[in-house]
Amino acid sequence: MVKGGLRLKRELIPAPVQQPDLNLPVAKIWVDSSVYHLDQEFSYLVPVNLSATAQVGALVSIPFNGRDVVGVVIARSSEVSSGLKSISKVIGTIPLLAPEIIQLIADAAKRYAAHPFDLIRSAVPERMASIEKEFIYHPLEQMPNLKPSKPQYLQLPPAKARQELMAKKVADLSRDGGVIVVLPDSREVRSLSRQLDLAGIAHTVLDSHLGKSEYFRNFLSVRTGASNIVIGTRSSIFAPVHNLAHLVIFNEGSEHFYEQRSPGWNVRDIALLRSRSSVAQLHLIGYSPSAEVGRLIDEGWVDFKRTRGKVRVSTISQPHGELIPSRALAPIKSALSSGPVLFLVPLKGYAQAIRCGKCKTISRCECGGAHQKTSANALISCSHCLKAVPSWKCIWCHGDQPSLLSRGIDRHLHEIGLLFPGVPARLSTGDHPITEDVENGIVVTTPSMAPSTSAGYSAVVILEGNRFLNQPDMRSSERVREMYFSHAALAKSGAPVILIQDDGNPISTALSTWNPTVAIHHDLAERAQLSLPPYVRTATLTMEKSEVIRFKNALETAHEEGRLPLTTRILGPISKDERATLILTAAIAESESLVATLHEFMRRRSAAKKPLPTLRIDPYSLSR
């Protein structure tokens, strides 16, 4: 007798082999292989028992390289070849990718030299089986594929509540069919959602700050056709809205519209791709277009619908470095008597730098970090290692009187409070936003964090304008234009807009006439002369320093052999920490060839199991 009794092995009975479907027996599938060069479609047989659910857009499990992986069905075909494996199972009951989105992802993967699944991760939220059970999917009838209308840039007027204007626009557009509105951040989404609720316009929010369950539930509501108006942040540009008629993008040049994950796509370009391949008309709404849209307007690809308006603009310089020159005090005090006044400032914190009051030497910590002061009563400390300095002395002349430089918003609030005693003053920042309407007093804010008012601000004051205007990166001029216009628009009709900065900047004229086109044309002329975006396509490749020279040599060889476009320039490497970046540019007319060649370079390195650089096509900035 065997001690412990008999033990029987569990016998696994293989599932019966299913015959392929006789009607469209082959599925074309994108495979989530996690391997860059395996980005093409693969063919699999569709078993007859899975034919009804293995629809275009469905997620499936398939055998791939000895293991089961996830794929998505992008087409069904009747062309059968020998040696095909079969789909193992269909995942879920709803095909999560609509045919239009599959085409969009194919176009975007080509545009950004990307694996389709890198884009699918942005387009489709994480699946939750328990939520999916709440929905029933039926194929939806599509509208005929009509020729899309020409894209428009709609300039917003001054002294009007933009969210009310946008809500009215959405209501008008929704009469034609589905609408997607993409906004830079959650704050804008919440504000527009409130206006749509007040107007009784049913809509669905696809905001990156929603919880996973709520986001997936909202996504399925759109996918199943239960909702056809979507407002959301970046990824909502991929929303599978049924019979989409209009795409609306607010502030299309915002840095928030650039995806941080690979492949680094941006909303504006995805919207242009989507509008070209569907019936949807693209509406770009804002105060001042980006350089990219400025070029498209000049070349006749986008209609610029300018708004007529006038704004009372005063430019007051700071002859002695004072925060608010004496000339500005009287109009600000007058404005405070009739309503709230908004102050826009460039920096957070209190004092971003310290120097000796005697010899003017900039103060630094022994670790190399800049000394700062985080509040009026705080000790001087290091911005890098945070070490406090209880008894500060200049390391050069040993003076003990520090001078505070580079005012932050907390110091602005302190100094403004001294200038206007008895007037309530509050901060509104990304960390501590004011969410209710402001009716009186002073509001000091950083860009894009200004709270709303019921009747508009009695004055808008832009402090330290030279700091805004003298930012070193290529995007600064277009970013500043949009920022100045959007904050000036918060002033009530006839209220002053005061710019504390040097005289002579054309932004003053642009604001007063509510016309940014002269400044945009000036920027575009400079960029064209210097062969800078948007007149060239750019690509950045970032990798370990040990690899960058070899990679640059390979690119230069390809250029000499004619495998890269003739207009290609290879700049760099630019080193940062342990990595380095190459920048490639080519004329727009040859941009597709540049991207295709880089895509092939990446595929070959991946197939050879060499380290892949981080590739970005047309990144927001070339200097970061």
Q: Domain boundaries in the chain?
A: 26-132, 152-305, 312-349+408-513, 357-404, 536-617
Q: Which residue has the tokens 């599932």?
A: 15
- Output the average pLDDT for the chain: 89
Would you say residue 144 has pLDDT above 70?
no
Query: Residue range 148-175: average pLDDT?
Result: 94
- DSSP string covering 415-460: HHHHHSTTS-EEEE-SSS---SPP-SSEEEE-TT-PPP-SS-BSEE
The CATH-assigned architecture of domain 312-349+408-513 is 3-Layer(aba) Sandwich (3.40)
279 vs 231 pLDDT, higher one: 231
Q: Of 73, 52, 53, 71, which Cα lies nearest the Cα of 62?
A: 71
Same fold, 26-132 and 536-617: no
Q: Of 477, 29, 522, 52, which Cα lies nearest the Cα of 253?
A: 477
Query: Residue range 207-227: average pLDDT?
Result: 95
Highest mean pLDDT, choosing among 72-81, 212-221, 611-620: 212-221
Q: How far apart are CA 434 and CA 224, in angstroms?
A: 37
Would you say residue 511 has pLDDT above 90?
yes
Q: How far apart are CA 593 and CA 590, in angstroms?
A: 5
pLDDT score for 414: 83
pLDDT score for 199: 94
Would you say residue 319 has pLDDT above 60?
yes
pLDDT score for 411: 77
pLDDT score for 348: 56
The CATH-assigned architecture of domain 26-132 is 3-Layer(aba) Sandwich (3.40)
Strand order across the beta sheet in which 312-316 lies: 312-316, 496-500, 459-462, 341-344, 442-445, 425-428
> What percent of the chain is modeled with pLDDT above 90?
68
Strand order across the beta sheet in which 579-587 lies: 569-576, 579-587, 536-544, 614-617
Q: Is the domain covering 536-617 a CATH 3.40.50.970 domain? A: no
pLDDT score for 541: 93
The tens digit of pLDDT for each residue in 330-377 reads 999 999 999 999 999 886 556 667 778 778 787 888 777 777 776 666
Going from the C-alpha of 586 to that of each of 201, 590, 613, the distances in angstroms are 45, 6, 19
pLDDT score for 425: 93
Q: How far apart are CA 340 and CA 595, in angstroms?
A: 51
Q: Give the CA dihedral 510, 513, 517, 520, nearest 10 degrees.
A: 10
Beta strand 402-407 pairing with 442-445 = unpaired
- Give the class (CATH, top level) of 152-305: alpha beta
Q: Give the CA dihedral 583, 584, 589, 595, nearest 10 degrees.
A: -100
Q: How far apart are CA 624 and CA 580, in angstroms?
A: 12
Going from the C-alpha of 297 to that of each of 265, 292, 576, the distances in angstroms are 22, 9, 37
pTM of the shown model: 0.88
Query: Residue range 63-82: average pLDDT?
Result: 91
pLDDT tier at 222, thresholds 50, 70, 90: very high
pLDDT score for 143: 63
Q: Of 454, 451, 447, which Cα lies nearest the Cα of 483?
A: 447
